[in-house]
Amino acid sequence: MLKIISGKDVNKLDLKYIKAKGILSFELMEKAAEAFCEWYMKQFDRKKTIAIFCGIGNNGGDGLAIARMLFRQGYKICVFLYGDADNASSDFKSNLRILPSNIVTKHLNDFDLKKLETDIVIDALLGVGINKPLEGQLLGIVQYLSNLKAVKIAVDVPSGLPSDTVLEGEAFSADFTVSFQFPKLSLMFPEHGHNIGELVILDIGIDQSYFKEFESKQFYLEPEDIKIRHKKYHRASHKGDYGKVMLIGGSLGKVGAVYMASKGALRTGSGLVSAFVPKCGLNILQASLPEVMVEISNNEYIIDALPENMERFDAIGIGPGKGTDIKSAEVLQKLMSRYKKNIVIDADAINIIAQNEEIKDLIRDNMILTPHVMEFERLVGKCIDHTDRLKKAIDFCAVHKCILILKGPNTTICMPDGRMYFNSTGTKYLATGGTGDVLTGILTSFIGQGYSAENAAICGVYHHGLAGQLASVNKLHGTIATDIIDKIPETFYVLNHSAGNF
Ligand SMILES: NC(=O)C1=CN([C@@H]2O[C@H](COP(=O)(O)OP(=O)(O)OC[C@H]3O[C@@H](n4cnc5c(N)ncnc54)[C@H](O)[C@@H]3O)[C@@H](O)[C@H]2O)[C@H](O)CC1
Ligand SMILES: [K+]
């Protein structure tokens, strides 16, 4: 798990580390540049021309070190400087001194960017040291480079993006953002999706123990965090050990949602999965998913009653395809007040809660809510931006003592005590109908298998994102929710047979 600290603390963190290790800050910059080059060389061949844009701070220093290292590996490099080198950081100056003299180096004051021809742009103009929005010449440069037909890579953060808050004005638009040691908080914000591109986090060796003194309850999930939470089963485990769960949902035309949630639960490993649907869902589910036991409500088209003897189940997921009519609302209210084990609340069940304060008051510590951004704002009101959204999410959890999973890029698990876990798996291809239903099934399954609600949320979100990644490898924008379900089992295999991030 990587602690996400403020960009303002990065300098302090570096100092602490270099002091403890007895190394120079220059050497830490070398490590960062080496990590970047190792990643870069795996992605791009030597034929591609590279233009590296360097400011005069340490981000620019990284850029110069990267230029030197890639040049020595036979890559075609041109360096562009911005700012007065006399005022540069000392590690920038050291790197400029040792920049091989046969690297073409130009100052942006003396170069007409329209003449630039390059395959790759590396942006090392500004990092976490930004102290005001971009303006003037620098803004013009960033705008020009953002629109260039080239592969664009941002070092640490896209230049112009503040590390912890929402962007004011403009920032570099990257295809890849390669951030050092931990993702800066703003890289988690949906508002910055088009600035960040694909996010890569590189370890530069600063151990988590150095992060202890920096106040933060925000974390970025890593594969190890999931593996240590997995329950171990033995050779004589029986289906009772894998849990008995129920998924409640569906209405006329939306029975597929319960199908996906139920199949998601089965593929996550539940021992027994039951679905509770309106009558119209019975034949559909029995025919399409014979592994699921189907129970029906009295009404043909909507859920108008609760299943008998709900305590049979180890966990219940409710919401997918359910509808928001009054009868459904009553059913939800009864479930939330009577069922004492864990409940996963999704989709229309969240929409019902958003419209009914009395039901909202029933949210308790045994519940996990899984809204996407729009559902969340229905629940808490319009949010100004993602900073506001995250604050409201944490306040919501503190008041109701529940877990809230805010779905989106870097889906965020918010805990009642203020902790936030940002997911590191997932893909833009998950943004398609039904994927939320799959998550409900996965979460309900994990809880049914005996995971704590917290561990179920962490593992569930991670596996769901990874299944999305695996499913979309060849299908890209054609990936659909049922493809993701089919990849769930493989996520356990992939996770257990690999090291590092995905
Ligand atoms: N542990 C790590 O992650 C490491 C990170 N490294 C890199 O260092 C930068 C941060 O470097 P810093 O010198 O603190 O700041 P910057 O390079 O981002 O910029 C400072 C520079 O820019 C001027 N400035 C600020 N805002 C503006 C603006 N809007 N317009 C123009 N100029 C601006 C400011 O006055 C300074 O002169 C981090 O991101 C990493 O890339 C290290 O390599 C080591 C390890
Ligand atoms: K940058």
Task: Write the DSSP assignment of 358-421 as a string of letters.
Answer: HHHTT--TTEEE--BHHHHHHHH---SSHHHHHHHHHHHHHHH--EEEEBSTT-EEE-TTS-EE
Q: Reply yes or no on whether the pLDDT at 158 is more than 80.
A: yes
CA end-to-end distance (rounded Å), the chain: 14
132 is in an annotated binding site: yes
Average pLDDT of the segment spanning 475-479: 96
Nearest CA to ligand 1 atom 3: 180
User: Helix 481-496 crosses helix 255-268 at what angle (to 10 degrees)?
Assistant: 10
Candidate from 48-62, 230-244, 386-400, 466-480 with smallest mean pLDDT: 230-244
Which numbered ligand comes closest to the C-alpha of 52?
A: 2
Q: What is the pLDDT of residues 261-311, one digit of tens each?
A: 999 999 999 999 999 999 999 999 999 999 999 999 999 999 999 999 999
Calculate how far, in angstroms, residue 347's C-alpha sits from the geometric centre of ligand 2: 38
Helix (H, G, I), strand (E, B) or coil at 493: helix
Q: Reply yes or no on whether the pLDDT at 385 is more than 70.
A: yes
Nearest CA to ligand 1 atom 45: 29
Q: Reply yes or no on whether the pLDDT at 227 is more than 90.
A: yes
Residue 342 CA to residue 316 CA, distance in Å, equals: 7
Which numbered ligand comes closest to the C-alpha of 195?
A: 2
Residue 483 CA to residue 432 CA, distance in Å, equals: 11
Residue 52 CA to residue 117 CA, distance in Å, equals: 12
Best CATH choice for the domain 2-216 from the list 2.40.160.10, 3.30.1330.10, 3.30.1520.10, 3.40.50.10260: 3.40.50.10260
Q: Phi first, then psi: what are they for 333, rounded to 5°?
A: -60, -45
465 is in an annotated binding site: no
Cβ neighbours of residue 412 under 8 Å, at least 6 residues apart? Answer: 188, 390, 393, 405, 406, 420, 421, 422, 423
**Which of 444, 472, 469 is CA-nearest to residue 459?**
444
Q: Reply yes or no on whether the pLDDT at 174 is more than 80.
A: yes
399 is in an annotated binding site: no
Cβ neighbours of residue 253 under 8 Å, at least 6 residues apart? Answer: none
Residue 217 CA to residue 422 CA, distance in Å, equals: 11
Q: How large a percentage of the chain has pLDDT more than 90?
A: 95
Q: Reply yes or no on whether the pLDDT at 501 is more than 70.
A: no
- ipTM of this predicted complex? 0.97
Q: What order do you get walking across the sheet with 2-3 strand by strand?
A: 2-3, 218-220, 420-422, 412-414, 403-406, 367-369, 342-345, 315-318, 244-248, 272-277, 293-296
Compute the C-alpha angle 452/370/501, nearest 5°.
Answer: 70
Our mutation pick for probing the ligand 1 site, out of 59, 206, 220, counting the most ligand atoms within 8 A of Cβ, is: 59
Cβ neighbours of residue 176 under 8 Å, at least 6 residues apart? Answer: 43, 151, 152, 153, 154, 197, 198, 199, 200
Average pLDDT of the segment spanning 53-64: 98
Residue 145 CA to residue 39 CA, distance in Å, equals: 22
Ligand 1 environment, Cβ below 6 A: 10-11, 13-14, 28-29, 32, 55-62, 89, 126-132, 134, 138, 155-156, 180-181
Compute the C-alpha angle 322/318/418, nearest 5°.
Answer: 125
Our mutation pick for probing the ligand 1 site, out of 13, 16, 31, 131, counting the most ligand atoms within 8 A of Cβ, is: 131
More confident residue, 161 or 235: 161
Q: For residue 208, give Cα distances in angstroms to 121, 156, 205, 212, 274.
A: 32, 18, 9, 7, 43
User: What is the pLDDT, as a whole number, of residue 431?
Assistant: 87
Average pLDDT of the segment spanning 198-204: 96
Calculate how far, in angstroms, residue 102's C-alpha sits from the geometric centre of ligand 2: 24
Cβ neighbours of residue 235 under 8 Å, at least 6 residues apart? Answer: none
Assign domain 225-230+240-496 to its CATH architecture: 3-Layer(aba) Sandwich (3.40)
Question: Is the pTM above the cut of 0.90?
Answer: yes
Calculate how far, in angstroms, residue 106's C-alpha sits from the geometric centre of ligand 1: 20
Residue found by looking up tokens 């809660």 in the block: 353
Q: What is the pLDDT of residues 311-354, one digit of tens each?
A: 999 999 999 999 899 999 999 999 999 999 999 999 999 999 99
Within a 10 A sphere around the Cβ of 325, how many other Cβ atoms?
17
184 is in an annotated binding site: no
Residue 206 CA, closest ligand 1 atom number: 1
Task: Write b or e for each residue in 126-161: b if 16 or more Cβ atoms lie within 10 A of its Cβ, otherwise e.
Answer: bbbbbeeebeeebbebbeebbeeebbbbbbbbbbbb
Calculate how far, in angstroms, residue 62's C-alpha sits from the geometric centre of ligand 1: 10
Calculate how far, in angstroms, residue 29's C-alpha sits from the geometric centre of ligand 2: 14
Residues of the chain with CATH 3.40.1190.20: 225-230+240-496
Going through 221-366 in order, the beta strands assigned E by DSSP cover 244-248, 272-277, 293-296, 315-318, 342-345
Across the chain, what does the average pLDDT equal? 96
Calculate how far, in angstroms, residue 173's C-alpha sits from the geometric centre of ligand 2: 10
Average pLDDT of the segment spanning 158-177: 97
307 is in an annotated binding site: no
DSSP 111: -
pLDDT band (50, 70, 90) for residue 238: confident
Residues of the chain with CATH 3.40.50.10260: 2-216
366 is in an annotated binding site: no
Find the length of the chain: 502
130 is in an annotated binding site: yes
Nearest CA to ligand 1 atom 24: 130
Q: Provide the pairing of β-strand 342-345 with 315-318.
A: parallel
Which numbered ligand comes closest to the C-alpha of 60?
A: 1
Calculate how far, in angstroms, residue 157's C-alpha sits from the geometric centre of ligand 1: 10
User: What is the pLDDT, as a whole number, of residue 291?
Assistant: 97
Q: How large a percentage of the chain has pLDDT more than 70?
A: 99
Average pLDDT of the segment spanning 247-251: 96
